Structure 1
Amino acid sequence: MQILITHGSLARTRVLHFNRWQLAGALFGLITVLTLLSGTVYHVIFLKAAREGWPVVSQVVKLVVRDEFAQRDRFMRENLDAMATKVGEMQAKLIKLEAMGERVSGMAGVKPEEMQQIKPGAAGGKGGPFVPVARPSMDQLNGWVASLDEQADQNSDLLTMVEARLLEKKLVSLMIPNSRPVEGPIGSGFGFRADPFSGRAALHTGLDFPADSGTPIHAAAGGVVLFNEYHPQYGNVVEIDHGHGLVTRYAHSSKILVHAGDIVKRGQTIALVGTSGRSTGPHLHFEVLLDGAPQNPAKFLALADGETVPTTRKAAR
């Protein structure tokens, strides 16, 4: 690119030569100067005019700033309204969750005073629709969110306690001997009967399950094997401790498959039917003892048809 400079005072015309890089540098410098100049004009003239109230410039600046502030304020209000709606939906869900938690806690046996310990601030009934204010502030929203967070923690604690109680009930039910040790009819029940050897009246302290020799004998509930040994009256006998003073006894077996100290599960095969000891034929003699006192095993087996088992001693009664 060439630029010709001609003037009457010059003896001859001057010629200036520029390449593309020089032109690009000159253009970049011009843009930089204009940017700095515009920034200087804005900060020095417009801001000063707005602060000092210049007649024309201050009005223009106020209009521009007012429109910008109005757009920003409208955007923030729309967001606050959306957040308030979400908070209201969360509160409604928490109210439903709290009501459900109270129903489940009642089923799990959590007492009202225990729930009050979890929720110390809950005094009396509360409810009603959520009606947010027309224009909630940020402080109000922060307070609602903090309250929702606290309610969520309380409901979480309540559900944790309910889960623990349900698990405790399940464990208790697993430890109650209400499963049949041998499938089949009962030959001789609990109570007084004529002794099969002497013919005299005698107390039969368990249930007899007639079965073929070698039929599997299953644990009526989970527990720990107390001992497995031979007894003159019971023959090959196994006793299982289920806790809370409950013990089951399995007598007259032909073979014992567990040892003292073993942990057994409900339904686990622990022995095989036989006719060892004081027996007239192959069968299982099944006893349930509570604190060493014989109980009617039929009462425990009947609990298998019930929905819940409150406590071991209540089941025994």
Structure 2
Amino acid sequence: MQLIITDAWLARTRAVHLSGTKLVLAAVAASMVMMLLAAAMYHWVFLKGARERWPVVGTLVRFVVQDEFEQRDRFMRENLDAMARRLGDMQAKMLQLEALGERVSGLAGVNPNDIKVNPARGGMLVEGRSLTMEELQATLNDLEQMTGERTDLLTVMESRLFDQRVKKMMLPTQHPLSTGGAGSNFGWRIDPFTGRSALHTGLDFQADTGTPILAAAGGVVVASEHHFAYGNMVEIDHGNDLITRYAHASKLLVKKGDLVKRGQQVAQVGNTGRSTGPHLHFEVLVQGVPQDPQKFLAAARSQPLQAAMAAPAGPRPR
């Protein structure tokens, strides 16, 4: 394309040659300039009309702003309702956990009133109305307090249950032999060596030589030695003045000071000391006084064990 520009005053003529590329660039530049001018004009008119409250512009501004606020409010309300439902579920689970904790506290011997969880102030969140942010925040604070108090109670119950388990593991209720028949019981009998009536201070189990002898409960070995009457003997202290004795062994597998677990092998059945044949002589002593081991071995509840430990004192073995 060729443009001829003529100046009447100067009597001059100038020719301008425009190629296709230049025409496209010129059109694009002109379009951009027009768009910028239109945007600037629209912005200026819109702001001026909004500030000076022109009727048409003011109505348009209020419509746009109201629609934006409604969308934002709807979005926030949907999120608040979703949070309320989730908090309601959490609160319901916390109440179930509280009921479970009260039942378990009875097993642990803990009075739940000592560490009482206060109910949430807002009640259940599944209601027929929408909740405000302040109500949700209050419920969150209540749940946080409830969680802390429930954690304290569960910690106390865990400690109590652990103590009970430890005490149970320290009571001699484990059978000292995995195999073997019962022999002489605890009580008065005719002594096989003297032929006179004498107190048999333990419980005999007939078994072959070498049969493993197991600890009836966990504890500390206080004696592992040869005794003129008991032969090769092991004594285990279980705490609370409770001791078990395993006599007539052929071989001792622990030494004084060893820490043993319930069911651990401590010796092997033998025929040493005052014995008429291979067997295990098993004793339970409370405060040094022999008790009937059968009461401990047959006990499944703490009440019979307490009765066994509170049994009348008998004569000490000789």
Same structural fold, with TM-score higher than 0.5 when normalized by the shorter chain: yes
Shift of 1:149: 2.4
Correspondence 1:250-261 to 2 at 5 A: 250-261=246-257
Q: SS at the partner of 2:277?
A: coil
Uncovered stretches (5+) of structure 2, i.e. residues with no partner: 311-318
1:158 aligns with 2:159: no
Q: Which residue does 2:85 correspond to in 1?
A: 85
Q: Which residue does 2:163 correspond to in 1?
A: 168
| Alpha-carbon contact 1:172-1:312 (below 8 Å) kept | no
* Equivalent AA in structure 1 for residue 16 of structure 2: R
* Equivalent AA in structure 2 for residue 71 of structure 1: Q
Shift of 1:111: 2.1
Q: Which residue does 1:271 correspond to in 2?
A: 267
Correspondence 1:104-115 to 2 at 5 A: 104-115=104-115
* Equivalent AA in structure 2 for residue 64 of structure 1: V
1:152-185 CA-to-partner distances (Å, cap 9, x unmatched) read 2322332232222222222111111111112333
* Equivalent AA in structure 2 for residue 268 of structure 1: Q
The two structures have a TM-score, normalised by structure 2, of: 0.84
| Alpha-carbon contact 2:188-2:198 (below 8 Å) kept | yes
- Name the count of aligned residue pairs: 306
The percent identity for this pair of structures is 51
Q: Which residue does 1:56 correspond to in 2?
A: 56
1:233 aligns with 2:229: yes
Q: SS at the partner of 2:180?
A: coil
Q: SS at the partner of 1:243?
A: coil
More deviation, 33-42/96-105: 33-42
- Aligned partners of 2:302 and 2:47: how far apart in 1? 81
1:280 aligns with 2:276: yes
The two structures have a TM-score, normalised by structure 1, of: 0.84
Kindly tell me: are residues 213 and 159 of structure 1, through their superposed partners in 2, closer, same or farther at Cα, counting changes over 3 Å?
same
Q: SS at the partner of 2:237?
A: strand
| Alpha-carbon contact 1:88-1:132 (below 8 Å) kept | no
Q: Which residue does 2:293 correspond to in 1?
A: 297
- Aligned partners of 1:256 and 1:74: how far apart in 2? 81
Correspondence 1:216-231 to 2 at 5 A: 216-231=212-227
- Aligned partners of 1:314 and 1:115: how far apart in 2? 32
Kindly tell me: are residues 61 and 248 of structure 1, through their superposed partners in 2, closer, same or farther at Cα, counting changes over 3 Å?
same
Kindly tell me: are residues 23 and 280 of structure 1, through their superposed partners in 2, closer, same or farther at Cα, counting changes over 3 Å?
same
- Aligned partners of 2:232 and 2:108: how far apart in 1? 41
- Aligned partners of 2:110 and 2:211: how far apart in 1? 43
Shift of 1:227: 1.5
Shift of 1:270: 0.9
Correspondence 1:1-317 to 2 at 5 A: 4=3, 6=5, 9=8, 11-17=13-19, 19=21, 23=25, 27=28, 31=32, 34=35, 38=39, 41-42=42-43, 44-116=44-116, 119=117, 122=118, 130-132=125-127, 134-182=129-177, 183-303=179-299, 306=300, 308-309=301-302, 313=306, 316-317=309-310
**What is the root-mean-square deviation of aligned Cα atoms in Å?**
3.1
* Equivalent AA in structure 2 for residue 88 of structure 1: G
| Alpha-carbon contact 2:85-2:125 (below 8 Å) kept | no
Uncovered stretches (5+) of structure 1, i.e. residues with no partner: none
| Alpha-carbon contact 1:216-1:269 (below 8 Å) kept | yes
Shift of 1:315: 5.5
Q: SS at the partner of 2:149?
A: helix
Q: SS at the partner of 1:61?
A: helix
| Alpha-carbon contact 2:248-2:279 (below 8 Å) kept | yes
* Equivalent AA in structure 2 for residue 278 of structure 1: R
- Aligned partners of 2:32 and 2:72: how far apart in 1? 30
Shift of 1:12: 4.3
1:236-264 CA-to-partner distances (Å, cap 9, x unmatched) read 11001111211100011111111111111
Shift of 1:51: 3.6
